[in-house]
Structure 1
Amino acid sequence: MLAILLLPEFSELEAALALEAARRLEYPAYTVAKGRKGTPALAGSVWTPTYAFPAAPPPKALLIPGARRPDRMAQDPAYLAFLQEIWEGVEAVFLGFNAHLFLAEAGRLPTRVVAPGEVAQALTKQGYQVADGSFHREAKVYTTLGGLSLLKALEDWAQKAIEL
C-alpha cells in the first residue's frame, strides 16, 4: 500500500498525481492525516483523508507531498509518532517539492538529496549535499524536485512506466 501523508496546506497536484499513479499501477493507495476532518490544500480545496494516524494500515511506501511550512509539522508529536511507527516497515519514502524540510526536521533525511531552488539552498545551509537530477534515491528515501519528478521516482521504485 502507498500512503499519502496530507500535511496542512499540501500540494493537491502531488497528492493527486500519486493517487493516479498508484491506480495505473494497480497498487492500493490511501491518504492519511493527523485526523479525519478535512485537510486544507494549497490551491484551496479541502480533502478528507481516508485514515487518521491511529487507524491507518501499515504502508509499504509513503509519499509526502510538498506543503506550506512542512518543517513545522515535524515539531508536532503526532506526526513524529506516526513516522516512527511506520518507518521500519516502509521500503520507500517519496518527497514532494519541499517535503524534504519535514523529513530534515524529523531527523530522517539522508545527507545527499535532490531539491528545487530555495529548498536546496536551505538544505545546503543545514549541511546536506544537493545532487543534480529530477530525483535521487538514498537508502529508502526518494528526494525529488516535486511535481512530475515524483512520477519518475515512483516509476523507478515500481520498475514500470506509468502512463498518464
Structure 2
Amino acid sequence: MLAILLLPEFSELEAALALEAARHLEYPAYTVAKGRKGTPALGGSVWTPTYAFPAAPPPKALLIPGARRPSRMAQDATYVAFVEEVWEGLEAVFVGFNAHLFLSEVGRLPSRVAARGEVAQALARQGFQLTDGPFHREAKVYTTLGGLSLLRALEDWAQKAIEL
C-alpha cells in the first residue's frame, strides 16, 4: 500500500499524481493525516483523508507531498510518531518539492538529495549534498524536485512506465 501523508497546506498536484499513478499501477493507495477532518491544500481545496494516523494500515511506501511549511510539522509529535512507527516497514519514501525539510527535521533525510531553489539552498546550508536530475534515490528515500519528477521516481520504484 502507498500512503500519501497530507501535511497541512499540501500540494494537491503531487497528492493527486500519486493517487493516479497508484491506480495505473493497480497498487492500493490511501491518504493519511493527523485526523479525519478536512486537510487544507495549497490551492485552496480541502481533502478528507482516508485514514487518521491511528487507524491507517501499515504502508509499504510513503509519499510526502510538498507543503507550505513542512519543517514546522516536524515539531508536531503526532506527525513524527507516525513516521517513526511506519519507517522500518517501508520499502520506499517519496519526497515532494519541499518535503525534504520535514524529513530533515525528523532526522530521516539521506545525505545526498535532489532539490532545487530555496529548498536546495536551505539543505546545502545544513550540509546536504545536492545531486543533478529530477530525483535521487538513496537507500529507500527518493528525493525529488516535486511535481512530475515524483512520477518518474514512482516509475523507477515500480520498474514500470506510468501512462497518465
Give the alignment's TM-score, normalised by structure 1: 1.00
Q: Secondary structure, in 3 states, of the residue corresponding to 1:124? A: helix
The 1-side partners of 2:41 and 2:55 are apart by 22
Map 1:1-150 onto structure 2 (within 5 A): 1-150=1-150
Superposition misfits of 4+ residues, deviation over 6 angstroms = none
Shift of 1:82: 0.2
Letter in 2 for 1:61: A
The 1-side partners of 2:69 and 2:133 are apart by 24
The 2-side partners of 1:115 and 1:19 are apart by 22
Q: Secondary structure, in 3 states, of the residue corresponding to 2:109? A: coil
Aligned length: 164
The 1-side partners of 2:53 and 2:100 are apart by 20
Letter in 2 for 1:24: H
- Unaligned 5+ segments in structure 2 are none
Q: Deviations over 1:48-97 (max 9, x none)?
A: 00000000000000000000010000110000100110000001000000
Q: Deviations over 1:25-58 (max 9, x none)?
A: 0000000000000000000000000000000000
Shift of 1:116: 1.5
The 2-side partners of 1:76 and 1:96 are apart by 19
Letter in 1 for 2:68: R
Corresponding residue for residue 155 of structure 1 = 155
The 2-side partners of 1:88 and 1:25 are apart by 23
Q: Secondary structure, in 3 states, of the residue corresponding to 2:127? A: coil
The 2-side partners of 1:132 and 1:69 are apart by 24
The 1-side partners of 2:54 and 2:114 are apart by 31
RMSD over aligned CA atoms reads 0.3
Q: Secondary structure, in 3 states, of the residue corresponding to 1:153? A: helix
The 2-side partners of 1:129 and 1:26 are apart by 35
The 2-side partners of 1:108 and 1:98 are apart by 14
Q: Deviations over 1:89-135 (max 9, x none)?
A: 00100000000000000010000000011100000000000000000
The 2-side partners of 1:142 and 1:102 are apart by 14
- Report percent identity of matched pairs: 86
